[in-house]
Structure 1
Amino acid sequence: MKVDIATLPPVRIATMRKTGPYGPEIGRFWMAAFRPWLREQGLLGAATYGIGHDDPAVTPAQDCRYDAGVEVDADFTAPPGVFITLLPGGVNAVAAFSGQAWEVPGAWQWLLREWLPASGRSADFTRPCTEYYPRHWRAEADGSFACELRLPLA
């Protein structure tokens, strides 16, 4: 994976939360809850984010928190069950990921366990790690897709 260092601006997002195991359940959450909500709000095609708040090696699977988010304007009002948050900007390692959903955890492990120590940099875990899906992203017929893995750096 190619990794660049970039200073990113803060972004206002509307999020829906899923609590429970990471893995295939996240894809089902996007398809059953988040994408239909995006469609209802007229937000399909906007830039979206995935935010895993917990390390599944430390947090019990049933307690892992994951937010699916979408960029929204300042005048967007969140309906019940949806929350507005500001993703802080700052310096990030930005890794270009391309592959299948089941490969995402391995890509994060590589970024955190191999790239980060070799880079001489330190992570800033006061800011969330995110997966960024640009406007109008889509999965290919075989299920593969591209996104950015964004790791905040100190």
Structure 2
Amino acid sequence: MDVKIWTLDTMKLAYVEHVGPYQEVEVAWMKLASWAGEHGLFTERTKSFGIYYDDPMKTPAENLRSEACITIDKEVPTVGDVKIKEVKSGRYAVTAHLGPYDKLTESWTELAKWLQESNEECAGGPGFEQYLNDPHATAPEHLVTLLLLPIK
């Protein structure tokens, strides 16, 4: 596994929370995309992230917490389920997952093994996934997702 250490800059995110199976987070994405489209927030600089707070091996599926997020660079009014937050800069172990989303767990498991064998230590925050292409316009085998694990 090829892992790089990156320092991410502080990011301002618009997000919609989701509680339930991670495979059902699409509902949150639809709400966020609809709102973002209405406010003209999708640009070439917009980044899409999923933030995952719970380990699906330890937490019942109905209690899994996640957020569908996009970066924003201007002030916008929020409505309904859309919220705004800032994620502070920090160090992350980063690796790329190539292929369908239903295989992401395998890449997260490999990244966890890498962490155990490295000299790095988990910072204790949630893991992020950065989606580099549109799953509605990209074949599953061509999807590219960055896995970002916060480290000290």
Same fold per superposition (TM over 0.5): yes
The alpha-carbon deviation at position 59 of structure 1 amounts to 1.7
Q: Which residue number in structure 1 is paired with residue 22 of structure 2? A: 22
What do the CA deviations read for 1:27-76 (whole angstroms, capped 9, x no partner)?
Answer: 4543x433333322322342111001111222221111110011112422
Q: Which residue number in structure 2 is paired with residue 115 of structure 1? A: 114
Equivalent pair of 2:22/2:64 in contact (CA under 8 Å): yes
Gaps of 5+ in 2: none
Give secondary structure in 2 for the equivalent of 1:77: coil
Q: Which residue number in structure 2 is paired with residue 85 of structure 1? A: 85
Give secondary structure in 2 for the equivalent of 1:73: coil
Q: 2 CA distance for matches of 1:7 and 1:47?
A: 16
5 Å matches for 1:33-112?
33-45=31-43, 46-112=46-112
What do the CA deviations read for 1:95-151 (whole angstroms, capped 9, x no partner)?
Answer: 112110101111111111x111111211011x32111134xx323642231121100
Q: State yes or no: 1:128 paired with 2:138.
A: no
Q: State yes or no: 1:138 paired with 2:137.
A: no
Relative distance call for 1:40 and 1:22 in structure 2 (3 A) is: same
Q: 1 CA distance for matches of 2:115 and 2:97?
A: 16
Gaps of 5+ in 1: none
The alpha-carbon deviation at position 77 of structure 1 amounts to 2.8
Equivalent pair of 1:3/1:94 in contact (CA under 8 Å): yes
- 1:41 aligned partner, one-letter code: H
Q: 1 CA distance for matches of 2:33 and 2:95?
A: 24
- 2:20 aligned partner, one-letter code: G
Q: 1 CA distance for matches of 2:20 and 2:57?
A: 14
Question: How many residues end up aligned between the 2 structures?
Answer: 148
Q: 1 CA distance for matches of 2:89 and 2:105?
A: 23
Identity %: 30
Equivalent pair of 2:53/2:64 in contact (CA under 8 Å): yes
Relative distance call for 1:39 and 1:19 in structure 2 (3 A) is: same
